[in-house]
Amino acid sequence: MLTKLATSHPLTTQTRNGDSKPYQEWVEEAKFQVSKALPMAIAGTFRSLTSILEVQALGHVGTKTLAGRSLALLVVNLTGYPLMYGLGGALESLCSQAYTGGRRNKRIGVYVQHSICMFLVANIFVALLWLHPSIIFRMLARTDPEVLKYAKTFLAFECLYFPCIVIQGCLKRFLLAQGLMRPTVYFEFAGLASMFLSLQIFVWNPATAIGFIGVPISSTIAYATVLLTNAIYIACSQCKLEWGRTTAVGFKQNAWHLITLGIPCGISGVASYGFADLATIAVAMLGAEELAVQAVLNSSKSAFARTGSYLGMVVSNRVGNLLGARDPAKSLLSAKISIGMTTAATGILAVLMLTFQHSFALFVTKDKSLISALMPLIPMLVVVVVFDMISNVLTGVLRGQGRQGIAAIIRVVALYLLAVPLAYALCFTAGLGLRGLWIGLAVGFVAIATAEAWLVLVTDWHGEVKRSIERINGTAAAESPAPEATPLLHPNRLC
């Protein structure tokens, strides 16, 4: 019989029988999630605006530079992002469950340190590939040589700021597991501000502009700023008390958990972004203008999906905290509320995007031909964005449970056994071109959201509690009385 925590704390506040009515539990949980989700939504918006500023700057520099960035993103998404998704997703499961259910609270810091060490080793091979991308670009022999030149330049700069993105993502999970969402807003705002100022100096101001190279320089400054502010915050606050000390003890076991939980997350990330990037390979054969349109669509999707992924982090850590605290009933309640609120919010977003679609296209670029090609594709972009954001939250629930594997299977099947054949048929056989590709992508994400919603609603939450305790403390601990609650920070307190 699973035992609940003897005492409660702000991250796992429990309502005892008879203390309140069921609807009050729903209201309290909804308020709690909003208090955590709102800062992360703002942080995700700031990160998205940072990416949009990059696209906007490139769009004003020229079509070929935008196409080159699209090709560089193709390589990064398929070879680098799996590391980021894998480590981030694994840390969400391990840190959130260990913080409320672990016997040694400082293990969450050790998890983060081990994950960073593993990334730094793997990044050596990734950087070598990005500095010598000829093997990949040989597949794109018909692509404009000038576009390839720009792509190589962007990849070289990715070697500088991609490590900043991944390491900061690991540090961010360290804070989120403790219920600290608000500091991320400050980090992302600092990155957005530095991006804007850098673009103003290196791209937009005629007196100091240095051409397209100013865009990747600005990106490097922005992401380095986010990492630096995050690291300083941890070093100068009470959070460092949870950091622990890096030792070889437990590294093998931690590495095993990080790999087994991280590989499915990496596969999910590649499956999501890889489909659109495979479309980019096909579009590269059509011409620079079509590739530029694809770059705008991909970047816009990624920007909105990033906000959805930030919300997914909130529910992932919430579910993980509650499972670690051995509260299956509230874990289910938390999942239901997060899904409901996300569905309502994305419905509003869809209406706004469809109402102001011309303004959206005009914001991205002033090129009239590019706007004309982009407008018919915005409705498909809206469908993809809405269901991608919903699926991000659903995947967050599964990550909080430690069920990344089933989420990866769903994405691979939906995108590559359903969406790819449909997109190929609509694009080439039916002659719909880019529109056909994005219709196929939309169908894939609708299928993902539907399958994951069903999977969450039929979850055996008591079984997930037992598995989370086994994962963190060992098999014997799953049947033992719960440890005394770890003192957690108040939701509104910044440590």
Query: Cβ(447)–Cβ(433) under 8 Å?
Result: no
Q: Which two tokens stand for residue 191?
A: 């990155």
Rounded CA-CA distance 400/314 in Å is: 10
Query: Cβ(3)–Cβ(10) under 8 Å?
Result: no
Q: Which two tokens stand for residue 241?
A: 């008390």
Q: Which two tokens stand for residue 363?
A: 């914001």
Angle between helix 288-324 and 251-284 (nearest 10): 160
pLDDT of residue 203: 87
pLDDT tens per residue, the chain (495 residues)?
444 443 344 455 544 444 556 678 888 888 888 888 889 889 888 988 888 888 778 877 777 787 788 788 878 877 887 778 788 888 888 888 888 875 554 578 888 989 999 889 988 988 888 888 777 776 654 667 777 888 888 888 988 989 999 999 999 999 998 888 899 999 999 999 999 999 999 988 888 888 888 889 999 999 999 999 999 999 998 877 777 766 666 788 888 888 888 888 888 877 776 666 676 666 666 666 667 777 778 777 777 777 778 788 888 889 988 988 888 888 888 888 888 888 888 889 889 888 888 887 777 667 777 788 788 888 888 999 899 889 989 999 999 898 888 998 999 999 889 988 898 888 778 878 788 888 988 999 999 999 999 999 899 999 988 888 888 776 444 444 454 444 443 333 333
Query: Cβ(239)–Cβ(233) under 8 Å?
Result: yes
pLDDT of residue 360: 77
Amino acid (1-letter code) at residue 423? A
Query: Cβ(12)–Cβ(325) under 8 Å?
Result: yes
Query: How many Cα atoms within 13 Å fall on the side-chain side of residue 20?
Result: 11
pLDDT of residue 489: 36
pLDDT of residue 13: 52
Q: Which two tokens stand for residue 259?
A: 């790999």
Query: Cβ(346)–Cβ(362) under 8 Å?
Result: no
pLDDT of residue 199: 92
pLDDT of residue 264: 86
Q: Which two tokens stand for residue 281?
A: 């390979």
Residue of 182, 177, 176 lying closest to 99 (CA atoms): 177
pTM of the model: 0.78
Where b means 16+ CB within 10 Å and e means fewer, 472-488 reads bbeeebbeeebbebbeb
Q: Which residues contact 152 (CB under 8 A, 6 or more apart)?
A: 72, 133, 137
Residue of 443, 483, 86 lying closest to 263 (CA atoms): 86
pLDDT of residue 221: 95
Query: Cβ(147)–Cβ(295) under 8 Å?
Result: no
Rounded CA-CA distance 158/127 in Å is: 8
